[in-house]
Amino acid sequence: MTTDVIEQDSHDEHHDDSHEHGKMTGIKRWLYTTNHKDIGTLYLWFAFIMFLTGGAMAMVIRAELFQPGLQLVEPDFFNQLTTVHGLIMVFGAIMPAFTGFANWMLPMMLGAPDMALPRMNNWSFWILPFAFAILLGSFFMESGAPNFGWTFYAPLSTTYSNGSTAFFVFAVHIMGISSIMGAINIVVTIMNLRAPGMTYMKMPLFVWTFFITAYLLIAVMPVLAGVVTMLLTDTYFGTSFFDAAGGGDPVMFQHIFWFFGHPEVYIMILPAFGIVSTIIPAFSRKRLFGYSSMVYATSSIALLSFIVWAHHMFTTGMPLFGELFFMYCTMLIAVPTGVKVFNWVATMWRGSLSFETPMLFSIAFVILFTIGGFSGLMLAMTPVDFQYHDTYFVVAHFHYVLVTGSLFSIYAGAYYWLPKWTGHMYNDTLSKWHFWCSLISVNLLFFPMHFLGLAGMPRRIPDYALQFADFNKWVSIGGFAFGLSQLIFLAVVIKCIRGGEKAPAKPWDGAIGLEWTVASPAPYHTFSTPPPQKDIDNADQHEH
Amino acid sequence: MTNKEYESYYVPNQSHWPIVGAVALFMIAFGAGNYVTDLSKQESGYGGYLLLAGIALVVYMLVGWFSDVINESLAGKYSHQMDNSFRQGMSWFIFSEVMFFAAFFGALLYLRVFSIPWLGGAGNNVETGAVLWPEFKAIWPLIKTPDGTTTTAMGWYGLPLINTVLLLTSSVTAHFAHSALIKNNRSQLKAWLGITILLGLAFMFFQVQEYAHGYSEEMRLFLDSGVYGNTFYLLTGFHGMHVTLGCIMLIVMWLRVLKGHFTPENHFAFQAASWYWHFVDVVWVMLFVFVYIL
């Protein structure tokens, strides 16, 4: 195995020299690049900067909620903060971070020279900073930033808009263009650029999850574009799609929005499944348990995601048949999700486990994501949801799946591949500090929210009744601690880029995958010629 | 080992077109945001100019980017695999367009099947109908809204029917042009493609006529005439924009044919424009059925 690695390295270096273009220097390298690794890096840094920006807003929110009464910010500004916090975390942090992983890893995992459409890849990225400049810029405009919640329900965003709707709509439009082009690139790369001999069922599960996620994106981002367009015409051009006086229906907004929105939440979790399914086998020194069932489970979740949207709207007065249909379909999703959780546990079962930081984040993911899944099941029950709807229970639920789910998987993946990306090992002690501080503070932050919600504290409010004060104090302390803990990660990454122990081509003894057959850091161009068949066979995640 | 048969995949050099495109989209989004916001306050600002400048920059970017691609293609840098990437990319782009229209068709069906009958008191909404707007009649086309705005419905005969015939015919002539290209019959290719473009332009002409008729005092069918006018203009309007885009694509293809581009084996761009044209045609058939006839 070692000799293979060396052969491959020298081979790639040789090829790198003969390639017609290398890196450009300075800012031009990043502005004009067509290299999947450069673009991946851009996506990841952008996502992290947005994460800190959205996080700073969360800090203000938690500071305001530290004790009852209005302390720091005006209620209207509080609404702007919750709205933009949500939009940034969904569209600016989690989604671009996953796209960054896709860009960095897919060509290397598939044995491809680059993404299929490299120039379009660059375009997809560079639209994003501009889109978020518009969104964040609206804080400094006369109208203020959007204040109608990240779900921008009509008529809050139409009749009662503070005037920020137009900027919001056009920012979402160009974000959507970026996402669709990124997703098309991912699908085409996977369908067309697999190395010869890599059949669909030999692809790493990581690739499968991004494949399915990209399909979801292509299917639903245009629906988002459609619904914001109707929002725009309702607000500014006199249409009444979401206004009963003209024959429309505000509830129709919610239907169309959640037809986008529910697949969207799987867009933010399926890639996490792929990352965790890569890491858990590596540190269990076993192959992934039930590879095929993982592929089918992921596909089932994706298909089901199209017929469950109205579980977000149980309290809107849907016909009874609708409530029951959406309740049962939603609960069905627990089946393929359960398959996954059991497969991860079975992969660890009797494995030779070690607990490096990527593994710690992955195990935390399995446990805490499952908690988020169970609270999701509670919310799926129509009569129960009547009680929980729009309370902090919902906030607790989706932060468990998005923070301890998606975000933890992103950390796991970042620690796992940082040696490959930078050529250095990260500082192990600091990374463990990051993990344990995050783990403890995140539970202090989000777990008590369940109790607050069950006791009836509504979400999206700047003030609350006195009986919620104690829990909110602890939640805020957890929030500040969690926010500060993320700066440890920034320190780890900067130290890792600047230096540290030299990483071998394959720093994890149990890792499999084509990315470990090339040097660390990965050469600027990898796999200009396809990898040998035996490397592809070695990378197969099936149990033997 | 399969390396022998491996054609190398062309990874393009660094390019400045994407960042130009990103700046252009920013100008469009920010300009349109300003323009619309100013419009709602009845002020005038620089938004409209920024928007137009952005559109001009997008056109400049597209011309530059595509001419790079065309030159690379003519220089023989593209493998069969590259061609496949383009084809698959275009197919998924068209699929995303299908989903965009699906959102509006979904809205149309929801309005017709649920919201209008419910406003009229159907289901468990008897009280809604009786208390809010007792005079309201749940009919489609909705020529009188709950708040009393009246309008007239656009019939399917006349211009819409003519347009249907024009667009369906143009899909057939586009197919003939493609067949001629595959048979390498250049004069037939030029003729059929030219006819397709003329049919597309005629469609656009009649669509403008129809809008003028709709906005006349006689019909008083406006964008803000309740959900009938909303869905009518949004669906036909977005379709019309797509026809315009399709026509531009076809004209570019025609000019490239005149310059001697495309071979029977290698004509992705032509294929893409033709797929797009067929897609626009299928959307029109759906429109004709669900917006005009039913």
Find which of A122, A306, A316, A320 to mutate to test the B interface (most B CBs within 10 Å of its CB): A122
Average pLDDT estimate for B88-111: 97
DSSP of A415-461, one letter per residue? Answer: HHHHHHHHSB---HHHHHHHHHHHHHHHHHHHHHHHHHHHTTPBSS-
Write down the pLDDT at residue A402: 97
B72 confidence band (pLDDT: 50, 70, 90): very high
Q: Quick check: is B54 in a domain?
A: yes
Nearest to B21 among A123, A134, A249 (CB): A123
Nearest to B1 among A118, A188, A532 (CB): A532
Q: Is B117 found in the same domain as B19?
A: no
DSSP of A449-476, one letter per residue? Answer: HHHHHHTTPBSS-S---GGGHHHHHHHH
Q: Quick check: is B138 in a domain?
A: yes
Domain assignment of residue B110, given as a range: 82-293
Q: Quick check: is B8 in a domain?
A: no
Contact A118 B11 (CB under 8 A): yes
Residue A1 pLDDT more than 50? no
Please, are residues A104 and A41 in contact by the beta-carbon 8 Å criterion? yes
Q: Is B38 found in the same domain as B151?
A: no
Q: Quick check: is A15 in a domain?
A: no
Q: Quick check: is A22 in a domain?
A: no
Q: Retrieve residue B169's tokens.
A: 């015919």
CA B44 to chain CA centroid, Å, is 29
Distance from CA of B104 to the nearest CA of A (A): 7
Q: Is B221 found in the same domain as B163?
A: yes
State how far the alpha carbon of B67 is from the alpha carbons of A31, A195, B70, in Å. 20, 30, 5
Q: Is B93 found in the same domain as B39?
A: no
Q: Quick check: is B168 in a domain?
A: yes
Distance CA B116, CA A144 (A): 35
Q: Which long-range contacts (CB under 8 A, 24 or more apart) does B150-154 make?
A: B150/B220, B150/B225, B151/B219, B151/B220, B151/B221, B151/B222, B151/B225, B151/B226, B151/B228, B151/B229, B152/B218, B152/B219, B152/B220, B152/B221, B153/B221, B153/B228, B154/B210, B154/B214, B154/B219, B154/B221, B154/B232, B154/B292
Q: Is B121 found in the same domain as B50?
A: no
SS (HEC) of B172-194: HHHHHHHHHHHCCCHHHHHHHHH
Contact A241 B14 (CB under 8 A): no
Distance CA A51, CA B62 (A): 33
Distance CA A285, CA A509 (A): 8
Q: Retrieve residue B268's tokens.
A: 């992705």
Q: Quick check: is B228 in a domain?
A: yes
B274 confidence band (pLDDT: 50, 70, 90): very high
Which tens digit of pLDDT belongs to each residue from A363-388?
999 999 999 999 999 999 999 999 99
Q: Is B274 found in the same domain as B193?
A: yes
Residue A288 pLDDT more than 90? yes
SS (HEC) of B227-262: HHHHHHHHHHHHHHHHHHHHHHHHHHHHHHHHCCCC
Write down the pLDDT at residue A316: 93
Q: Quick check: is B1 in a domain?
A: no
Angle between helices A165-192 and A205-236 (to 10 degrees): 150
- Among A83, A277, A375, A441, which one carries the catalytic annotation? A277
Contact B16 A31 (CB under 8 A): yes
Distance CA A268, CA A372 (A): 14
Which tens digit of pLDDT belongs to each residue from B123-182?
888 888 889 899 999 999 999 999 999 999 999 999 999 999 999 999 999 999 999 999
Set of chain B residues whose Cβ sits within 8 Å of the Cβ of A110? none
For chain A, what percent of residues have pLDDT higher than 90? 92
Write down the pLDDT at residue B6: 59
Distance from CA of B33 to the nearest CA of A (A): 5
Write down the pLDDT at residue B130: 86
According to DSSP, residue A311 is labeled: G
B92 confidence band (pLDDT: 50, 70, 90): very high
For A331, the enclosing helix (H) or strand (E) is helix A320-332
Which tens digit of pLDDT belongs to each residue from A494-523?
999 999 999 999 999 999 999 999 999 999
Please return the burial class of A306, using the count of CB atoms within 10 Å of its CB with bins 0-12, 13-18 and 19+. middle
Contact B81 A229 (CB under 8 A): no
Q: Quick check: is A217 in a domain?
A: yes
For chain A, what percent of residues have pLDDT higher than 70? 96
Write down the pLDDT at residue A360: 98
For A122, the enclosing helix (H) or strand (E) is helix A118-137
CATH classification of the domain holding B98: 1.20.120.80
Average pLDDT estimate for A280-303: 97
Please, are residues A464 and A473 in contact by the beta-carbon 8 Å criterion? no
Q: Quick check: is A180 in a domain?
A: yes
Place of tokens 């035996």: A534
Write down the pLDDT at residue A4: 42
| B153: CB partners within 8 A, 6+ apart | B141, B143, B221, B228
Distance CA B177, CA B189 (A): 5
Q: Is B66 found in the same domain as B49?
A: yes
Residue A273 pLDDT more than 60? yes
Average pLDDT estimate for A156-180: 96
| A538: CB partners within 8 A, 6+ apart | A1, A512
CATH classification of the domain holding B26: 1.10.287.70
Distance CA B278, CA A478 (A): 57
Domain boundary among B77, B98, B117: B77
Write down the pLDDT at residue A499: 92
Q: Is B94 found in the same domain as B234?
A: yes
Peptide bond preceding A155 in cis form (omega within 30 of 0):
yes
According to DSSP, residue A89 is labeled: I
Sign of the Cα pseudo-torsion (B216, B220, B223, B227, in order): negative
Higher per-residue pLDDT: A540 or A129 = A129
Contact B92 A184 (CB under 8 A): yes
A223: contact with B, CB 8 A cutoff: yes
Distance CA A384, CA A497 (A): 49
Q: Is B143 found in the same domain as B50?
A: no
Residue B49 pLDDT more than 80? yes
State how far the alpha carbon of B117 is from the alpha carbons of A218, B3, B89, B120, B294, in Å. 33, 65, 41, 5, 16
A117: contact with B, CB 8 A cutoff: yes
Residue type, A482: F
How much helix, strand and coil, in percent to the nearest 5, is found in chain A?
A: 75, 0, 25
Distance CA A456, CA A464 (A): 10
Angle between helices A95-110 and A165-192 (to 10 degrees): 10
Residue A317 pLDDT more than 90? no
Number of structural domains in chain B:
2
Q: Quick check: is A55 in a domain?
A: yes
Q: Is B203 found in the same domain as B110?
A: yes
Strand ranges (E), chain B: none
Write down the pLDDT at residue A20: 53
State how far the alpha carbon of B292 is from the alpha carbons of A262, A418, B253, in Å. 32, 58, 32
Find which of B3, B8, B9, B11 to mutate to test the A interface (most A CBs within 10 Å of its CB): B11
- Among A255, A459, A460, A473, which one carries the catalytic annotation? A459
State how far the alpha carbon of B192 is from the alpha carbons of A446, B41, B217, in Å. 65, 49, 40
Coil, helix or strand for A502? strand
| Closest CA relative to residue B149, chosen from A234, A237, A247 | A247
Distance CA A158, CA B197 (A): 40
Set of chain B residues whose Cβ sits within 8 Å of the Cβ of A533? 1-2
Distance CA A496, CA A218 (A): 35
Q: Is B245 found in the same domain as B108?
A: yes
Q: Quick check: is B6 in a domain?
A: no
Q: What chain B residue is nearest to A20 in terms of C-alpha separation?
A: B13
Please return the burial class of A153, using the count of CB atoms within 10 Å of its CB with bins 0-12, 13-18 and 19+. middle
Q: Retrieve residue A423's tokens.
A: 């050529």
A6 confidence band (pLDDT: 50, 70, 90): very low
CB–CB contacts below 8 A, A to B = 243
Residue type, B202: A
Nearest to A255 among B88, B110, B227 (CB): B110
Q: Quick check: is A380 in a domain?
A: yes
Please return the burial class of A534, using the count of CB atoms within 10 Å of its CB with bins 0-12, 13-18 and 19+. exposed
Q: Which of residues 48-87 of A touch B (CB under 8 A)?
A: none
Distance CA A312, CA A301 (A): 17
Q: Is A312 a catalytic residue?
A: yes
Residue B3 pLDDT more than 60? no
Domain assignment of residue A367, given as a range: 2-10+31-538
Peptide bond preceding A319 in cis form (omega within 30 of 0):
no
Dihedrals phi, psi of A504, to nearest 5 degrees: -75, 170
The answer, yes or no, to whether ipTM is higher than 0.90 is yes
Distance CA B163, CA B208 (A): 11
Distance CA A63, CA A477 (A): 9
Mean residue pLDDT of chain B comes to 94
Cα–Cα–Cα angle for A195, A199, A201, nearest 5°?
135
B111: contact with A, CB 8 A cutoff: yes
CATH classification of the domain holding A235: 1.20.210.10
Number of structural domains in chain A:
1
Q: Retrieve residue A152's tokens.
A: 């921008």
Distance CA A251, CA A244 (A): 10
State how far the alpha carbon of B23 is from the alpha carbons of A41, A110, B31, B52, B256, in Å. 20, 32, 12, 13, 28
Nearest to A119 among B15, B119, B147 (CB): B15
Which tens digit of pLDDT belongs to each residue from A63-100?
999 999 999 999 999 999 999 999 999 999 999 999 99
Q: Is B246 found in the same domain as B167?
A: yes
